[in-house]
Amino acid sequence: MASAVPEKARARAAALRTQIREADHRYYVLDDPLLADSEYDELYRELVELETTWPELLTDDSPTRRVPGSVAAGFEPYAHPSPMVSLDNVMTADDFREWVVSGDRYLKSDAPRTFSVEPKIDGVGLELIYEQGLLVAAATRGDGLVGENVTANARTIRSIPQRLRGPGVPEWIAVRGECYCRKDDFLAFNRAAEEAGTRTFANPRNFVAGSLRMLDSSIPAARPIRYFAYALGGVRGTTYGSQGELIDALAALGLPTIPEARVLTGADAVVARYGELAAERESLAYELDGVVVKVDDATLQDRMGMRIRSPRWAVAWKFPAQRAQTRLLAVDWSVGRTGVVTPRAILEPVFLAGVTVQHATLHNLDELERLAVRVGDVVELERAGDVIPKVLRALPESRTGNEHDIEIPTACPACSTALARAEGKVALRCGNFACPAQLKGHLAHLAGRGALDIRGLGEKQIEQLLREGLVEDAADLFCLDEERLAGLERWGTKSARNVLEQIEAARTRPLDRFLVALGIREVGERGAQILARAFGTLAGVAAATREELLELDEVGEALADSVLTWFAEPRHRAMLERMATAGVRPLRVEAPAGGVFEGLTIVITGTLEALSRDEAKQLVEGLGARSSSSVSKRTDLVVAGPGAGSKLKKAQELGLEVIDEAEFLRRAGRT
């Protein structure tokens, strides 16, 4: 029978927990250390010793629970209490002012508005759930509706309080914010990793995202990840009258908030603050890629409401791309899944937009000719967000005479097939359908999320399958067996079964996604939808004539010819027959039926207030119509908003029916 805990030990443990929590708050939230590291360590060790001696003293919110060593079986899905939506973007001051004006029109008022202006942290969104002040769950954004439950990992982030502070703690609250890594912490981590010969990371955002998804929570516990809170997913028992009031309340609860956030009145003040943050960007402790502007008043937020995917009362104003100069060391040539051979710049490493850049795109032969760049040149680079860096220009004034022209290949770097360049085209192309580089790219594309979504089958796994001779084309994926997969290095039975379950599900993906997966040139997501709805089955698409293809709206000669060429290739037909034998049965895709706009062709022009252009297009197609970008005699209806120009004029000349956005929403059942 366990001995009773001495009251003295119980009181001391409680006091230590209070001291350590306060020290964590001062260090990680307020950036104002209270104790020296040695003092903190001594208190921490004492608490660990007490909890080890008397396990009854260990509480769920004890600071010692932040460094677990357990390995989770996997992340469970977590349904957010309300959608974690994304924000619309603007890129210029004119765009931002137009967003403000659109809000005035929606509110039917041009009275000066107050805005909350916050740096847009380049991190990873995380929702925290507190019940009676205690952290009970944490989840990633996921698809906005369902994320991954990463509670164990979130508990290891020291700037996230395990228990909220103060007298005004709600009975239940869902806090939303951003996990991030300070620039200095990130550089120090990478330096230590290089010295130890372990993995380094490309940028702080990838570092944080990978850390949150570690199954072993001792790994993120050892990494310098922090958190800023800036929004709510819901709250019970209290309300907040404005974004500024909410931020103050979150800070009072012990949550870290963004110190550079401001509440300002009028668009001019916001524009000025954007300029200040853009100028301070490099000197700030963390990476940011823009500014988030929110209507501050909660009542106005409610009145403005939501679009389908984003709030009408908030916008992300992105920073322009960043630039740097470095030297071009060499050019290599890569082969894509469609056989296009493209040049890539190999550069002296340079730090740009939060990333050490060693490679950049050079696009194609025309771009090389335009740039007139030579190996050895000093070049200027540009990078925006997560976009691949590109070479903007060479600096010929920096030449020393040791530069030399870039050698253009005549044979495929992967299979030595002679390269061709079609008349009027910019791309060099390898015409060998059996080219190993094309096959690797095709399989990675086929397994991707926008295609058959075979999770667990990334580029490294595909390289391994090709190297081991287990696949020679896409059909072989559907013939893999558990025994052979499990025997591969770093696989095992569990990994093999997981991938095979994904492959099984991929046998019956919708036909449009299957067509995307085939990687037919010119056939993207929209083209695949058109083909799938028009012909119903894979056999129907394969048997389509050129005339039948060209009769379809939005199908031009290039797409039609690509489809005919792809299905005429004997290797492709043989692959499809083997897929069918292996049980691949793409599902028929039906056009939406029974909608109020069924069978109509609708053109949307001008500025819409309640919907973005993409949202309006999805609404049109969801109600059985076809959304078109051009007005013709075949157009049935034109939705015209403010600023409609030539398309409205043409519609009037043709005598077409024209309605405004309000009537469109009424007919669509949205008002």
CATH code assigned at 642: 3.40.50.10190
- Is 73 part of any domain? no
Is residue 334 located within the same domain as residue 415? yes
474 and 538 share one domain: no
Residue 71 lies in a domain: no
CATH number at 530 reads: 1.10.150.20
Q: Clarify whether residues 609 and 562 are in a common domain.
A: no
Residues 498 and 542 in one domain: no
Q: Distances in Å between the alpha carbon of 304 and those of 107, 238, 434?
A: 7, 21, 55
Residue 120 is among the residues annotated as catalytic for this protein: yes
DSSP-assigned letters across all residues of 227-276: EEEEEEEEEES---SBHHHHHHHHHHTT----TT-EEEESHHHHHHHHHH
Verify that 524 and 394 share a domain, yes or no.
no
For residue 267, give every residue at least 6 positions away whose Cβ sits within 8 Å of its Cβ, in sequence order, or none. 96, 97, 100
Same domain, 543 and 645: no
- Residue ranges in the chain whose pLDDT is less than 50: 1-2, 68-73
- Say what the pLDDT of residue 71 is: 43
- Output the CA torsion 250→256→260→264 (10° steps): 0
Selection from 283, 326, 298, 195 nearest residue 239 by Cα: 298
Residue 256 lies in a domain: yes
**Nearest-5° Cα angle at 575, 571 to 576:** 120
Residue 162 maps to which CATH number?
A: 3.30.470.30
DSSP structure class, residue 283: G
d(CA 329, CA 351): 16
Identify the pLDDT of residue 615. Answer: 74
Alpha-carbon dihedral 265, 266, 269, 275, rounded to 10 degrees: 130
Residues 153, 220 contacting (CB under 8 angstroms): yes
**460 in a structural domain:** yes
> Can you give the CATH number for the domain in which 43 is found?
1.10.287.610
Report the DSSP pairing between strands 88-90 and 172-180.
unpaired
Please give the tally of structural domains in the chain: 6
Domain presence at residue 2: no
Query: Does residue 605 share a domain with residue 521?
Result: no
d(CA 407, CA 404): 9
Q: What tokens were used for 184?
A: 């200095």
Q: Report how far residue 412's alpha carbon sits from residue 72's, in angstroms, rounded to the nearest whole number.
A: 46
pLDDT in tens, 416-457: 999 998 766 778 889 887 888 999 999 999 998 778 989 888
CATH no. for residue 346? 2.40.50.140
End-to-end, the C-alpha distance of the chain in Å comes to 68
Catalytic residue among 8, 108, 120, 649: 120
Q: Which two tokens stand for residue 170?
A: 């709600």
241 and 386, same domain (yes or no): no
Same domain, 113 and 213: yes
Are 283 and 174 contained in the same domain?
yes
Q: Is there a single domain that holds both residue 284 and residue 389?
A: no
- The pLDDT value given to residue 69: 41
Last residue of a domain, one of 456, 485, 506: 506
Q: Does 548 reside within a domain? A: yes
Asked if residue 378 belongs to a domain, the reply is yes
The H-assigned helical ranges of 519-603 are 525-535, 538-543, 546-550, 557-568, 570-581
Same-domain pairing of 152 and 205:
yes
Boundary-marking domain end, from 455, 475, 506: 506
The range of the structural domain enclosing residue 16 comes to 7-66
pLDDT of residue 1: 39
Note the pLDDT of residue 592. Answer: 58
pTM here? Answer: 0.56
- The interaxial angle of helices 93-107 and 267-280, nearest 10 deg, is 150
How high is the pLDDT of residue 474? 92
539: tokens are 């056999």
| 527, 551, 581 - which closes a domain | 581
Residue 593 domain flag: no
Structure tokens at 344: 């890539």
User: Which of these, 247, 206, 235, 242, lies nearest to 223 by C-alpha position?
Assistant: 206
CB 373 within 8 A of CB 379: yes
Give the sheet arrangement for strand 88-90, strand by strand: 88-90, 314-318, 288-295, 114-121, 262-265
| CA distance linking residue 531 with residue 253, whole number of Å | 55
